[in-house]
Amino acid sequence: MVGHLHQAGMAVIPEAEQADVVIVNTCSFIDSSKEESISHILEVHQNKGMKKRRKEQKLIVAGCMSQRFSKDLSTSLHDEVDAFIGLDQVTKVAPIIEGLYAKERGKKVAPANFIEGKSTYIPDYDTPRFRLTPKHFAYIKIAEGCNHPCTFCIIPQIRGRHRSRTIDSVVKEARQLVSEGVRELNLISQDTTFFGMDTWEQRPNPRTPVDSSRGSALTTLLRELNAIEGDFWIRLLYTHPAHWSDELIQTIAECPKVARYIDIPLQHISDRMLEKMQRETSGGYIRDLLKRIRAGIPGIALRTTFIVGFPGETEADVAELCAFIKETKFERLGVFRYSQEEGTRGAKMPDQIPAKVKEARWHTTMGLQRQIAAAVSRGYVGKTLKVLVEEPGVARGEADAPDIDGRVYVPRDVPVGEFVEVKINGYHDYDLLALPKGEKPAEFKVAKQAQ
């Protein structure tokens, strides 16, 4: 969206008060994100009323919430919002703004129900891009949408069916980013392991493993990215466990630029819960897969997420999950309290769990992980690590994704945006220290998992 604004000659400025147009980019994944989005829209509008902003300033609402609730929002926020932009309208953002100015009297550019159906948009190599991340790392969206039926999740209804970019398109973008000095490419999508499989001649089912003999696949993409010249990491985020294969494990092992870090959301381990969640996996499958990943990719750091408090979850399910966390010792782990989302099948299920119980289960599981994380951090002491320096005094290792995992505190004079090798001499929960004796960390920001 920002790339399209730039291409149309519009400047993006950090001071919202002085802008001609404010775009609130919303999320509607769970209730709390919807509430945050609405409260921000109202705040922008109120500031305008209190003359903290210019009266003629336009307010546009974009993103998932706009896509999902366009009809309701255009009625309830009729006086506050000048236009709503759906997910497929990101390329039209500049003409929509121009249209608002052309119709100065505040008339909506598009009819209230213009965002119909599921999204089908996917960016490509030549989509104008303006990176909002620091110079040294970037996200590359390799696919969009999801074909899985998880009963707690609204994403497929908002983002539509899975569609992949071509390998050529992703590689071109990656090559460009590396030539601009990017040191870490984070591959993202809703279902990264399914990359390319939507283009196969024979339709894959939700459990089909990655297999490059059947068509475009993540393994081929990784090998091509790995062949790009330069010193950089390739990080895989959001890999659905159902599509993992031995071919993928072997590919990662053979591609040194692919970070020894895997984000593999498991959501639960109890067969009852996996079945209710329709995760297309079972406890036995997951245990076997993790064993194969650990054996096939030495030094791999596993990151996962679990949901506690899904309808019908019993104390026995939680006990099984705790035992699994203890036995697997995930290097990185986050736990979510189940959120009853309107429009999902999970929301209509009987035996919803009270908030207090969810909270207690969250504390139990995260408390357990805190101890494991401390032991994992302790294991790094005395080792030398290659880290990427994020800001003066703060870096990240290969086992730390941006904005999600821990940090490595380094001397302030190491160059920002570059790889350096440091010796770990201490730790603090999720974070590592590589500082000369007596030097204090730049600042202790609490790692996301602990929040």
- Contact set with ligand SF4 (CB under 6 A): 146, 148, 150, 153, 155-156, 190-191, 240
Q: Which helix (DSSP H) or strand (DSSP E) does residue 256 occupy? A: none
Q: Which is nearer to ligand SF4, 309 or 393 (CB)?
A: 309
In the complex, the smallest distance separating the C-beta of residue 55 from ligand SF4, rounded to whole angstroms, is 41
129 within 8 A of 139, measured Cβ to Cβ: no
Q: How far apart are CA 363 and CA 369, in angstroms?
A: 10
Cβ count near 262 (within 10 Å): 25
Beta bridge partners of 26: 63
Type and span of the H or E element at 391: strand 384-391
Q: Which residues pair with 387 in a beta bridge?
A: 397, 420
Cα 401 from Cα 448, distance rounded (Å) = 11
Q: Smallest distance, Å, CB 191 to ligand SF4?
A: 5
Choose among 443, 442, 446, 411: nearest CA to 425: 411
From the CB of 217, what's the least distance to ligand SF4, in Å?
A: 18
Min separation Cβ 155 and ligand SF4, Å: 4
Q: Between 239 and 251, whose beta carbon lies closer to ligand SF4?
A: 239
Instruction: Tell me which residue of 306, 300, 299 sits closest to 325, measured CA to CA.
Output: 306
In the complex with ligand SF4, which residue's Cβ is closer, 154 or 258? 154
* Residue 315 near residue 273 (C-beta atoms within 8 A): no
Type and span of the H or E element at 448: none
Backbone dihedral angles phi then psi of residue 234, each to the nearest 5 degrees: -115, 120
- Alpha helices by DSSP H, listed for 197-297, are 218-226, 246-254, 271-277, 283-296
Cα 12 from Cα 5, distance rounded (Å)? 8
Minimum CB–partner distance for residue 280 and ligand SF4 (Å):
9
Q: How far is the CB of 140 from ligand SF4 (least distance, A)?
A: 18
CB of 20 to ligand SF4, least distance (A): 36
Nearer to ligand SF4, 155 or 389 (CB): 155
Q: Pick between residue 165 and residue 240 the one whose CB is nearest to ligand SF4.
A: 240
In the complex, what is the shortest distance from the CB of residue 159 to ligand SF4, in angstroms, rounded to a whole number?
8
3-class secondary-structure state, position 247? helix
**CA-angle at 418, arms to 416 and 423, nearest 5°:** 95
Q: For residues 240 and 358, which CB has a smaller minimum distance to ligand SF4 in the complex?
A: 240
Residues 6+ apart with CB under 8 A from 9: none
Output 162 or 183, the one with its CB closest to ligand SF4: 162
Q: Which is nearer to ligand SF4, 161 or 378 (CB)?
A: 161
